Amino acid sequence: MTFLHNREYPIAELMPLIRERLAAGQSVRFSPRGVSMLPMLRQGKDSVIFSPLPDRLKKYDLPLYQRANGTYVLHRIIAAGEAYTCMGDNQFIPEPNLAHEQMIAVVTAFYRGNRKISVTNPWYRLYCVLWVHSRPLRHFWRRGIGWLRRHLLK
């Protein structure tokens, strides 16, 4: 496993190395940036293990993929069929019609601080199901909190 954590690198710079390791059947540990996967992944605190792709991804998998505009994204699959629909855990707008060819790697474990958690962990699987299916409720909750902040906490 390759560990790329001592210095910050733009992912575009690392992609040749990541692709090389994945093609050799190896895993890569990486610390993602951004807030789209909160509360699961915290920027600067957590890291993920990228592993080579299986033949087919399934709902709740967490792939690294490249958008048509070239950006790299780590979001959860919320629907799988002929194409995938992905969305960040901290987002409300799905990204549909992603092809398997856009997928680069899949997360097989992540580190929450120093604790390694496999994606096969039953508590993690429960989190995935509950988080994806609670999206409508979370959307109303977030809007309600925003309304309270604007109107009552001036």
Q: What is the pLDDT of residue 13?
A: 86
- pLDDT over 70, % of the chain: 93
Which residues make Cβ contacts (< 8 Å) with residue 79, sequence separation at least 6?
Answer: 59, 85, 94, 96
pLDDT at 2: 46
Please tell me the distance from the alpha carbon of residue 59 to that of residue 76, in angstroms, as a whole number: 8
pLDDT of residue 22: 96
Q: Is the pLDDT of residue 83 over 90?
A: yes
Q: Are 124 and 76 spatial neighbours (Cβ–Cβ below 8 Å)? A: no
The pLDDT assigned to 6 comes to 57
Q: What are the tens digits of pLDDT across the range 93-140?
A: 999 999 999 999 999 999 998 999 999 999 999 999 999 998 888 777
Residues 15 and 72 sit within 8 Å (Cβ to Cβ)? yes
| Spatial CA neighbour of 31 closest among 8, 13, 51, 63 | 8
d(CA 55, CA 61): 13
The pLDDT tens digits of the residues spanning 47-78 come to 999 999 999 999 999 999 999 999 999 999 99
The string of pLDDT tens digits covering residues 28-39 is 999 899 999 999
Best CA proximity match to 98, nearest among 109, 90, 87, 89? 87
Residue pair 122/79 in contact by the 8 Å Cβ criterion: no
CB 76 within 8 A of CB 92: no
- Asked if the model's pLDDT at residue 40 lies above 50, the reply is yes
Query: Tell me, which fold does domain 2-151 have in CATH?
Result: Umud Fragment, subunit A (2.10.109)
Q: Name the pLDDT band for 5 (thresholds 50, 70, 90).
A: low
